Structures are given as structure tokens and as C-alpha cells.
Amino acid sequence: MKIKKLLEWYEEVLSMPHRQEIARELRGEDDLFLLLLYSEMLGIPNPVYFYTLELYPYILEKFHDWHLRMGMDKSPLTGIRCC
């Protein structure tokens, strides 16, 4: 029992940085995806911009964190209530 616990602890110690790396990479991809969806606000025309707004309710919670990570203190979309 003790040994099993020790092994679990050891595995966790080893996998911690790795798990973080995966999460970081996933977040990076998600950010890029969001950036593509809302490329309009960077001045890059996006023909489906109108439709991408439909996704907004689903990403509302993450939206605030995202624009902070992208280096924008305030929400870049004037029509969207964020902060």
C-alpha cells in the first residue's frame, strides 16, 4: 500500500511539467483559433465574422482570460460586454 502510494507520488512528480506543457500547447492552439475567428478586430477581413459571433455565448467565460493573454487589458470588441 505504502509502496503503491510512493509510486503514484513519483509518477505525479515526473509528469507534472509534462502535463503542463501539453496544457500550454493546447491553450496556444485555442488562442490561435480564437484569433482566427476574430481576425476582423486586427483589421484582417474575415468573411464569416458574423457567424463566428454566434459562438460567443459558448466562449464568454474564457473570453476575458483570452484577451488578457493576448495583451489587451480591455475587451477589444466594443459590441461585447466583457470588461
In terms of DSSP H, where are the helices of 1-83?
Answer: 2-37, 49-52, 56-69
Cα(50)–Cα(32) distance, rounded to whole angstroms? 18
Residue with Cβ nearer another protein (20 or 36): 20
What is the DSSP-derived secondary structure letter of residue 54?
G
Interface contacts to another protein, rule CB under 8 A: 7, 9-18, 20-25, 27, 65
Residue with Cβ nearer another protein (12 or 55): 12
Residue with Cβ nearer another protein (23 or 48): 23
Residue 35 CB, nearest distance to another protein (Å)?
A: 17
Looking at residue 73, its amino acid is: D
